[in-house]
Each structure stands twice: as C-alpha cells, then as structure tokens.
Amino acid sequence: MNTNISRGRLNAKKIAPPGLSLLALILLSLLPIFVTDYTIIKINSIISFVIIAVSWSIFSGPTGYISLSTAAFYGLGMYASAILGNHLPLPLVMVISGIASFIIALIIGVITLRLRGVYFTIFTFGLVELLRNLILWLEIKFSGTRGRFVPSVDFQQVFYCILGTLAIILLISYLIKRSRFGLALIGIGESEDAAAHIGINTTLVKVLGFSISSFAVGAVGAAMATRTNYIDPGIAFNMLMSFMPVLMAIFGGMSTIPGPIIGAAVFAYLEELLITKVPEYFMIIFGAIMIIAILFLPNGLTGIAGKLFKRRKGAGKNANT
C-alpha cells in the first residue's frame, strides 16, 4: 500500500505492529507449559471475547453501523458444535461454522444493509431474538425437546483453536485496516452518500465487511459451546453476547485495533475478578466501574493512552520553543 495513505491522519494512530502481535501470540501459545489449567481456561474465555470484540469492530468500528447480531452467529456456532461435534474434529466444526456464519451474514447483509443507524441496530438485534424464538419453537414442535448436549473437547485443544482464530482475526483486521477496502469502510462511515458517488460500491463493501466480521464469531461460538457442555436456544442466543462486544469496544476505544483487544481483556478479567472475589456485590461494583470509566475515560482505555502520548509530545514541543 502506498505510503501516502498510511501516512495520513487516520492511519497515524498506531496500528499494533504485526511483529509485536506475533510475539504475543507465540507467548500465549507457550502458556500451557507455565500456568495452571484453570488459568488457561480463563485466558481462553478472555481471548474468545477479544476475538468477538475485534470481529465486531472490523465492520462496526469504521462504518458506525452498530450491529447487535453477534449473539446470532455465536449461537449458530454453538448449534453447529452440538450437531456436528460428534462426527467431526473441532477445528473442522469451527471452519464449517465460520463459513456458515459468513454465508448467512452475506444473505442478511444483502437484505438489511440498506437500513441505517439505529434501524440497522435494532434489526440485527431482532435477528437474534427471532432465531432464538424460532429455534425454540422448532425444537418444541418438531423434536419435542429443548436442549442438546455438546460433545466435550479437551480444553487445551479448544485453547489452541481459539488462539488460531485470534491470529487469523488479528491478521484480517490488520490487513483490512491497511487496505483500500478498509478505507472504503471508513468512507462509508464518514458519508455514505459521498462514498457511493466517488465509485465505492457501498452495498458490496458493507455486506462483505459484515460477513467478515461474522465469520470468526461463528467459529468461536462453536469452540466455546464445548466449554458449556449443554445448550438450549436461550443459552445459545443470549442477548448479552450481542452487547458484550459493543461494550468492550467502546470501553477500550473503537477506532484502533488495540482498543477492542484491551477493552475485551480488561472487561472480561474485571468481571471474573469481581464475580469470584465479591459475588454478592459484583453487579453493583461492575456497574459503578463502568459508569466511572466512561465518565473519566470518554474515549475508552486506549483514549487515555493516546492522550498521555500526545501530551508528552506536546510538552516536548513547548520545551523546545
């Protein structure tokens, strides 16, 4: 990609250097040697949130189309795992589930992406509820049951699958951010009309963006279903799953790649910490922390990092003159 683009203002925000991420991934993959099993399980769950938050912000970050459909693809992934898990190895189930999510998102995208703003948001939200109720109804009416067991998979295998997905989604996210496609997504977010009139096929870009951001969610859903052992429509299509990535991305700061990563990691860790240390007051403290964090870090966690950085640079400049 031409330097003129990456030198510009938008890309000036530090993109996580791929080398550093690679190192982090390698360290993570060596983790099982050093830490306890439960730590792996915990990190596994945190990483799954990171993947979801990063996926979400691939599309919703630049375009401003706030999607609440994460739970739909996550749930589909869980069902894929419950249905296929007995016959196929987990990585394959994840790939199938990811591709299925991609295709379904493609179809949904074609139908919905002419909606704008909150209308799109609510539509995607409705999608989750629709799927939940539809599957519930189908299960009751036709299979006469409601839940399903998910074939269990060794947690280390799940961990490496999740880690692999993380690597893939980070790579995709990084590539998109640097590509013409990523620029088109930003353009759509800034002014969709203008974007269309300078030759950007907005429908195609949006639909593709939406589908790419759904792919990994489906895969993660399939992997994480093996951690819950048992699912039913209420468990698989859980609204909170749709809200989480939004909260995490805003919490971390939306416009950069590290934002959602940090947001998701801090958020998930904090929750785990509170839930085990102060289960009785967890909700109150968690809510209060959220409010305080937003009030004092309105640009998310990475926002303060950016501000500190700028201030130091500014101070340096002043000192020179």
Partner 1 sequence: MSNKILQIVLEGLIMGGIYALISMGLTMQYGVARILNVSHGEFIMVGAFITWMLTTMAGISPLLALIICMPVTFLIGYILHRTLYKKLKDLTPSAGAYEGNAMLISFGLMFIIQSVAQKIWGSSPQGYKYLTFSFKIGKTAIAVNRLFVLFVTIIISVIFYFFLNRTRMGKAIRASSQDPAAAGMMGIKINRVMAICFGIGAILAGIAGSLLSMINNINTSMGMNYTVIALIVVVLGGLGSIPGSLVGGLILGFVGSIVNRIDTSLYMVVFYVLIMVLLLVRPKGLLGR
Partner 2 sequence: NKAGKTETTDPPSVDENVGTEDTGKDTQPAAEKESIVFGGVRSQSGVFATFDETAFGPCYRMWADKVNAEGGIYVEEYGKKLPVELIIYDDKSDMATMTRLYEKLILEDKVDFLLPPVSTAFLYATAPIADKHGYLLIGAEGGSTTLLDSIAQYPGFFSVLNFSVTQVPALVDILVENEIESAYIVYIEDLHGTEYSGASKPALEEVGIEVHGMKAIPPDIQDMTSIINDAIDSGADAFLLFAYPDQNFLAMNQAMAMGYNPDVFLVGPGGNFEFIKGVFGGAEAVEGLMSWGGWNEKSSEKAAQFAKEFLEYNKDDPKVSIDWWGHLPYYTGLEMLQQAIEKAGTLDNARVIEVLKSEKFDTVMGEVWFENQLLASECYLGNVGQWQNGIFEVIDVGENRTADPIVPKPAWPAE
Partner 3 sequence: MPILNATGVSKAFGGLKAVSQVDFHVAEGEILGLIGPNGAGKSTLFNLISGAIPLDSGTIMFDGVKISGKKPDKICRLGIGRTFQTAQNFAGMSLRQNVLMGALFGKKGQSATQAAADVDEILDFVGLTELCDKQVSDIPLAYQKRLEVARALATKPRLLMLDEMMAGLNPTEVAEAMELVEKIRNSGITVIMIEHVMKAIMSICDRIIVLHHGQKIADGTPQEVSSMGTVIEVYLGQ
Q: Footprint of partner 2 on this chain (CB under 8 A)?
A: 36-39, 41-42, 45, 133, 136-137, 140, 144-147, 149, 152, 155, 224, 227-232, 234-235, 238, 240, 275-280, 282-283
Return the range that interacts with partner 1 (CB under 8 A); candidates 17-25, 38-46, 197-205, 288-296. Answer: 288-296
Tell me the CA end-to-end span of the chain in Å, nearest whole number. Answer: 36
DSSP element (H, E) containing 263 = helix 258-277
Which regions of 94-245 does DSSP assign to beta strands (E)? 148-149, 230-231
Nearer residue to partner 1 within complex by CB, 150 or 301: 301
Candidate residues 99, 198, 284, 292; the one interacting with partner 3 per rule CB under 8 A = 198
Q: Are the beta carbons of 194 and 187 closer than 8 angstroms?
A: yes
The CA distance from 24 to 88, in Å, is: 30
The CA distance from 139 to 133, in Å, is: 10
Candidate residues 99, 175, 194, 283; the one interacting with partner 1 per rule CB under 8 A = 283
The CA distance from 28 to 265, in Å, is: 14
Name the β-bridge partners of 149.
230
Interacting residues with partner 3 between 6 and 35 (CB under 8 A): 8-10
64 touches, from partner 1, partner 2, partner 3, none (C-beta below 5 to 8 Å by class)? partner 1
Interface with partner 1: number of residues (CB under 8 A): 42
Q: Which of 129, 135, 125 is nearest to 69 (CA)?
A: 125
Pattern 237-276, partner 1, x by CB under 8 A = --x---x---x--xx--x----------------------
Answer yes or no whether residue 265 interacts with partner 3 by CB under 8 A: no
The CA distance from 218 to 79, in Å, is: 10
Candidate residues 96, 104, 128, 200; the one interacting with partner 3 per rule CB under 8 A = 200
Angle at which helix 90-112 crosses helix 117-138, to 10 degrees, equals 130
Which residues of the shown chain bind partner 1 in the complex (CB under 8 A)? 64, 111-112, 114-119, 122-123, 125-127, 129-130, 133-134, 136-137, 140-141, 239, 243, 247, 250-251, 254, 281, 283-284, 286-291, 294-296, 298-299
